[in-house]
């Protein structure tokens, strides 16, 4: 799979959330970010109970995708997913592995920051 998607803007990536599948050509880290945003909107928090419910299949799919990744991109998204979940201790470990500081941004702003960075690579 390709790294990122250099021909896709943040606006196009966000608009694609209305589709039933992620845009073609995304690597697993971007696919995970796409699935997470579909679970409740970019940057929305999901309480642990919601993640366990069938309604959050998209969040679980995102988590499955990043669990397979061993690179900085996957680790960054993995940390973000655990932050969405509200598990900051777990998230801190993934941010550290990704060599990213623990964010002070809102989840929505962080989602956009990660998306822009990954789409540019």
Number of domain units in the chain: 1
Asked, for residue 75, whether it belongs to a domain, the answer is yes
* pTM strictly above 0.75: yes
Domain assignment of residue 3, yes or no: no
Token code pair at residue 59 = 């969040």
Specify if 91 maps to a domain. yes
| Structural domain boundaries enclosing 95 | 10-120
48 touches 3 (CB < 8 A) = no
Residue 4 lies in a domain: no
20 occurs within a structural domain:
yes
> Would you write out the chain's pLDDT as a tens digit for each of its 121 residues?
445 555 899 999 998 988 999 999 999 999 999 999 987 666 555 444 455 554 478 889 999 999 999 999 999 999 999 998 889 999 999 999 999 999 999 999 999 999 999 999 8
pLDDT at 18: 87
Residue 95 counted as domain residue: yes
pLDDT of residue 55: 41
Contacts of 25 (CB under 8 A, 6+ apart): 1, 2, 5, 7, 8
């Amino acid at each position: 799979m390709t790294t990122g998607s250099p021909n896709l803007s943040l606006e196009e990536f966000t608009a694609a959330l209305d589709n039933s599948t992620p845009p073609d050509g995304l690597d697993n880290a971007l696919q995970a970010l796409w699935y997470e945003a579909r679970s409740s909107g970019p940057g929305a928090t999901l309480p642990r109970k919601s993640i366990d419910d069938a309604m959050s299949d998209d969040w679980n799919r995102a988590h499955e995708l990043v669990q397979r990744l061993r690179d900085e991109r996957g680790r960054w998204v993995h940390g973000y997913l655990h932050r969405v979940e509200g598990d900051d201790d777990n998230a801190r470990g993934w941010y550290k592995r990704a060599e990213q500081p623990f964010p002070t941004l809102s989840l929505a702003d962080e989602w956009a920051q990660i998306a822009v960075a990954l789409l540019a690579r």
